[in-house]
Amino acid sequence: MNEVSRKEFLSKIKHYMTPPGEGVFTVHTASDKRQSLQKKMYGPDAVAHKRVRAIWEESLEKTLPLSNCVILGIPSDCGGGIQRGANWGPLYLRESLINSRENLKAYDIGDVRVVPHLLHDKYLNQETIENCRLALYQNKKVNLPVSPLSIAYDFAKNFHQQFPAKNLFMIGGDHSVSYPMVRAYLEAKKIQGKKVALIHFDAHTDLLEERMGIDLCFGTWTSQILPYLESPQHLVQLGIRASGRDRGHWETKFGCMQIWSEEIIAKGAGVIAEQVIAHLKNLAIEEIYISFDIDCLDQEYAGATGTPEPKGLSPHEPMLIMQSLFENFKITGSDIVEIAPLVRAPYIKQIEPETTLLVASSLATFLIQAMGLTN
């Protein structure tokens, strides 16, 4: 494994990441929103005098080493495919988190730079890679990735090497962005000798092996992550309800554990939490990664998402399950994805995206606080 020094890692971050809220490349669109976030984070003077990048770069050296939990945005929706718009998740959710006035002890490391037409470097030819390097880094031969999933993996892999005791909280993005984060997490935990499991809240299984020929997207990322788990039983999926196949098909084919939405509602979240905890204890699990697709919630609470689904969970159900899990295992990695704040499903009566953002921000607050306490 080619380990880079701390200095090289910070230099990479300054190249392939941006200060919080700048990962979506725009000139005017949402610039007021971005400025309002950065004023709250860095002060009005920093924004007025264009000092945000300088302060952010300095914070990488001074503040980053002090925090247990580090927040990262991946504003990419190139891996989505029904209704895009999750690229605005990181900017909007950050603002909701700040407005909630919870004093979150976490360091925000910023956004992955996103070329919106790119997904993963393995899908690109050399000419495109060089053109994008030239655009992003002003050097077509520099050895840096250009696609969001490739940048995220390089970042997360180096992060875990540099800071093995720190935990990452990622804001997506469509669900494909969890693939590089979970893969880097699982590889790092294997090196650390920790026994870990992936807890996946979602209306969908995301277990396709490919979707229209693409093996890394919102519908396939979990099947692609299975080889990195110790066994498929180390994947627990909760809240599933929109699937072309039944639970038996997926559990038999892949060997993971699934608990569908109707079962959680019928038995109660407390009973389900006990069932999951017993399963994980049986596997001698020490730490967990929670990947939270906002569409595991009923469309009444999560209408601002690419594929809202009825008959889903109420916010207290996953919250109770996560709290019970936290009482038994360390949460050492997590993400919340598929929040598409500008998407308004016309058949949903609620005023969106306020409900979705409010609920997402309370779930995110729990995860950030849980990870801030763990190391």
Which residues form the interface with Mn ion (CB under 5 A)?
175, 202, 206, 293
Per DSSP, helices labelled H in the chain are 6-16, 31-42, 44-48, 52-62, 89-99, 126-137, 148-162, 178-192, 221-225, 247-254, 261-267, 269-282, 316-328, 354-373
Taking alpha carbons only, the member of 253, 50, 76, 61 closest to residue 181 is 76
Q: Can you tell me whether residue 282 is helix, strand or coil?
A: helix
Specify the residue, 291 or 332, whose C-beta has the smaller distance to Mn ion: 291
Considering the complex, state which of residue 293 and residue 335 has its C-beta at the smaller distance from Mn ion: 293
Least distance CB 80 / Mn ion (angstroms): 10
CB of 99 to Mn ion, least distance (A): 26
Least distance from Mn ion to the Cβ atom of residue 183, Å: 16
The radius of gyration computed from the CA coordinates of the chain, to the nearest angstrom, equals 19
Q: How far is the CB of 221 from Mn ion (least distance, A)?
A: 7
Residue 126 CB neighbour total at 10 angstroms: 8
Q: Rounded CA gap, 39 and 33, in Å?
A: 10
Nearer to Mn ion, 253 or 267 (CB): 253
Nearer Cβ to Mn ion (19/219): 219
Of 263 and 293, nearer to Mn ion (C-beta) is 293
Query: Which of helix, strand or coil describes residue 29?
Result: coil
- Tell me whether the omega of the peptide bond preceding residue 308 falls within 30 degrees of 0, making it cis: no
- CA distances from residue 274 to 231, 247, 320, 324 in whole angstroms, order as listed: 21, 20, 11, 8
Nearer to Mn ion, 95 or 293 (CB): 293
Tell the smallest beta-carbon distance from residue 161 to Mn ion (Å): 28
CB of 211 to Mn ion, least distance (A): 12
